[in-house]
Amino acid sequence: MNTYKGRYFDGKTSRAVEVTITNDDANIYLNAEGITKKWPLAEITQEDCTRQFLSIRFGSAFPYEQLDSTDKAFIDTWLKLNNKSGFRHLHSATGFLAVLLLFVLSIFVLGYAYGLPWLAGVVANKVPISYEVTLGENALKGMLAESKTNELKSKQLNLFFKQLHIQSDYSIKIYYVNEEVVNAFALPGGNIVVYDGLVKKLKNENELAALLAHEFTHVQKRHATRNIFRNMAGYILISALTGDMNGLTQQFILTADNLGTLSYSRELETEADDYGMQVLKENNLSCAGMKSLFETFKEEEKIAVHELLSSHPDLDSRIERVEIFMQKNSYDIQQNDSLSYYFKQLKK
Ligand SMILES: [Zn+2]
């Protein structure tokens, strides 16, 4: 029988006693002058175990007896014993817990990545239009506080939009801002903001119609509202976990203030293009403007239209989508002189 060396503590004093260790399959035996111990493996708890050091504890109540050993032969024996004794259950239980934890964590992460956009959509669809209007109005006030809107051009833009004869539960209001920014964006509830810098890039009324149909879709399909919820959801979760509501309030204010700079996901942008084309078709308007609009952006790569270009669908695939739509949908295109009239006024 092999014998090993270790140091025994009785748990009542800090005095270490050098002991001789022996074992069988189910027990460890400690021997020294005046000490004879039999520790069944099932009643031993491992405190620490490395290749160089082992510390185990015996007993189920304080004070615990303890055995430390730096005897590598004993550590090897101990590890082998554990593989065929009750400790194996402990290890497999730990393994099971680790797997369970990983599983729960994966659900959490997946839920965050995929569930959140879905949940944001569900919540956004339940928000009454009047709430969206209030939210959009407040955001607009904040955003336009330092910008100059052009009243005449705003009026012309709204008249242009009316000529598109788009049906909606939302009352769409368009604001023309006199800034060189090449951008446009939609707010929850019906406000659309278009910048002078972007209008300057437009070549004809079809492009303006396409741009407005795209922005209108963001309103109609509640994309902006969805974006807020999606943006907020992470903070709501963190606040719920940490109990810190200050961060949540601040984030809400920040999100509402920056609605115009929130970019949409690839899916929402694609939906805005597709539904926008559908709207144009229903009103016998050409989709050619959408194609040429993207082509303009492509030619001048330095034009970064935040809302239209920030997200992932690349321009080539968007152009291709418009081409496919136009091939599949043949319909009579009606010329609307009013559209070209208002467009010319805008470009003056
Ligand atoms: Zn968009």
Compute, in angstroms, the gap from residue 209 CA to the centroid of ligand 1. 14
Compute, in angstroms, the gap from residue 77 CA to the centroid of ligand 1. 67
pLDDT band of residue 208 (cuts 50, 70, 90) is very high
- Bridge partners (DSSP) listed for residue 211: none
Taking every pair of Cα atoms in the chain, the longest distance, rounded to a whole number of angstroms, is: 112
Q: Are 253 and 300 in contact (CB under 8 A)?
A: no
The whole-number pLDDT of residue 104 equals 64
Compute, in angstroms, the gap from residue 217 CA to the centroid of ligand 1. 8
Compute, in angstroms, the gap from residue 269 CA to the centroid of ligand 1. 5
The whole-number pLDDT of residue 152 equals 95
The whole-number pLDDT of residue 15 equals 82
Compute, in angstroms, the gap from residue 146 CA to the centroid of ligand 1. 24
Count the Cβ atoms, other than its own, within 10 Å of residue 13.
9
Compute, in angstroms, the gap from residue 248 CA to the centroid of ligand 1. 27
Compute, in angstroms, the gap from residue 310 CA to the centroid of ligand 1. 9
Q: With b meaning 16 or more CB within 10 Å and e meaning fewer, what string describes 194-216? A: bbbbbbeebebbbbbbbbbbbbb
User: Given CA atoms 97, 102, 108, 114 in this order, what sign does their dihedral have?
Assistant: negative
Compute, in angstroms, the gap from residue 335 CA to the centroid of ligand 1. 26
Compute, in angstroms, the gap from residue 264 CA to the centroid of ligand 1. 7
The whole-number pLDDT of residue 339 equals 93
- Amino acid (1-letter code) at residue 231: N
Compute, in angstroms, the gap from residue 150 CA to the centroid of ligand 1. 23
The rounded distance, in Å, linking the Cα atoms of 196 and 346 is 10
Q: What percent of the chain has pLDDT over 70?
A: 78
Looking at mean pLDDT, say which of 62-66, 75-79, 136-140 comes out highest: 75-79
Compute, in angstroms, the gap from residue 318 CA to the centroid of ligand 1. 12
Q: Which phi and psi angles does 52 have, rounded to 5°?
A: -105, -20
Compute, in angstroms, the gap from residue 224 CA to the centroid of ligand 1. 10
Residue 71 has pLDDT above 90, yes or no: yes
The rounded distance, in Å, linking the Cα atoms of 161 and 156 is 9
Q: Per residue in 79-102, pLDDT tens?
A: 888 775 444 334 445 556 666 666
Q: Which phi and psi angles does 56 have, rounded to 5°?
A: -125, 160
Name which of 174, 172, 178, 173 is nearest 146 in CA terms.
178
63: cis peptide before it, omega within 30°? yes
SS3 at position 218: helix
Question: What average pLDDT score do residues 97-111 get?
Answer: 64
Name which of 253, 143, 134 is nearest 193 in CA terms.
143
The rounded distance, in Å, linking the Cα atoms of 197 and 285 is 25
